[in-house]
Amino acid sequence: MPPDRVIGVDVGGTKILGGTLERDGSIGRTIEVPTPTDGTDSFLRELDAVIERLLEDGAAAIGVGVPMTIDRTSGVALRANNLPLADLDLGARLGERFRLPVGLENDGNATALAEWRLGAGRGATDVLAFALGTGVGGGVVLDGRLYRGWAELGHIVVEADGPRCQGNCDGRGHLEALASGEAAERAARAIWGEPDAHRLVEEALAGEHRARAAIERIGHYLGVGIGSLVNVFVPEVVVVGGGFGAAAWKLLHEPALAAARREALSPADETLRIVPAELGDDAGLVGAGLVGFEALDGER
């Protein structure tokens, strides 16, 4: 087994992206398949198949990022917000099946780990990372360590009694409902009658004023959430990525920074930096791989 190569698997709401990862963060072969959404058995079958194929290249450990909350005591993945998955003892199961060290982490935490170690948060001691996709994921690095708790940054309230969250969350006015790709779809539907987030971003970038106002509103909510979290964690840097976050970054940045500065206490309001993620669509895969290296090195 090559001790400097692991398998990282990023389980998303629509696709499973697996790949081999070297210690320096370089990615080898990758495999992408749609995430089965009809239940646990087909999901596990597909996950096993992706790992089996990647193992042909040789790997010393496996890391998996899942969009689920994880019980830190038992290691069981408890619940997914946007997939029909619950109560999976995934780490133990994969360890038994493949006889390799296995690391399991929430996907937002894994993304934060990747951006901190190898991306836009490099060298910082305290980092907040957001992934704005269909939903909102995130993670927190504190005192030079990834916070292993839930860190469900998408489910903090930014508008009391606001719109209902999506998926299995019944909360109202959460960041995920107001600053995500889904929020952009809702805004597009209100303008043109069709929920097309890509169109919203494109037209906003081209200067269409309704689209622009909608994206700036989303940026404002993002900043409100960031400002509150700055008052708790005082991060040196806040990293914003994810598919929607990257596409709309140019328009999100200013309103987000303005709102965050307004809410943040001095002197954090002046020193606050909000920067774009650097690892793009690979952040989840790289983070999962890093979790695999931690399992290999006995750091977990």
**Given the rule CB under 5 A, which residues bind Zn ion?**
155, 165, 169, 171, 174
- Which residue lies nearer to Zn ion by CB, 152 or 203? 152
| Nearest residue (CB) to Zn ion, 157 versus 279 | 157
Closer to Zn ion at the Cβ: 149 or 171? 171
CA angle 287, 69, 164 (to 5 degrees): 110
- Least Å distance, CB 225 to Zn ion, is 12
Considering the complex, what minimum distance in angstroms separates the CB of residue 269 from Zn ion? 27
Give me the least distance between CB of 217 and Zn ion, in Å please.
Answer: 18
CB of 221 to Zn ion, least distance (A): 13
Least distance between Zn ion and beta carbon 83 (Å):
15
Nearest-approach distance from CB 92 to Zn ion, in angstroms? 29
C-alpha to C-alpha distance for 234 and 249, rounded to whole angstroms:
22
Question: CB 136 → Zn ion: shortest distance, Å?
Answer: 9
Three-state SS annotation for the chain: CCCCEEEEEEECCCEEEEEEEECCCCEEEEEEEECCCCCHHHHHHHHHHHHHHHHCCCCCCEEEEECEEECCCCCCEEEECCCCCEEECHHHHHHHHHCCCEEEEEHHHHHHHHHHHHCCCCCCCCEEEEEECCCEEEEEEECCEECCCCCCHHHCECCCCCCECCCCCCCECEHHHHCCHHHHHHHHHHHHCCCCHHHHHHHHHCCCHHHHHHHHHHHHHHHHHHHHHHHHHCCCEEEEECHHHHHCHHHHHHHHHHHHHHHCCCCHHHHCCEEECCCHHHHHHHHHHHHHHHHHCCCC
Closer residue to Zn ion, CB minimum distance, 30 or 166: 166
For Zn ion, the closer CB: 107 or 294: 107
**Which of 155/210 has CB closer to Zn ion?**
155
To the nearest whole angstrom, how small is the minimum distance from the Cβ of residue 179 to Zn ion?
12
Q: Supply 15's token pair.
A: 């696709």
**Is-cis flag, bond preceding 267, omega within 30?**
yes
Task: Dig out the tokens for 172 from the structure.
Answer: 């109202």
| Burial (CB count within 10 angstroms: exposed 0-12, middle 13-18, buried 19+), residue 2 | exposed
For the chain, the farthest-separated pair of C-alpha atoms sits apart, in whole angstroms, at 56
* Of 53 and 155, CB closest to Zn ion: 155
Residue 155 vs 300, nearer CB to Zn ion: 155
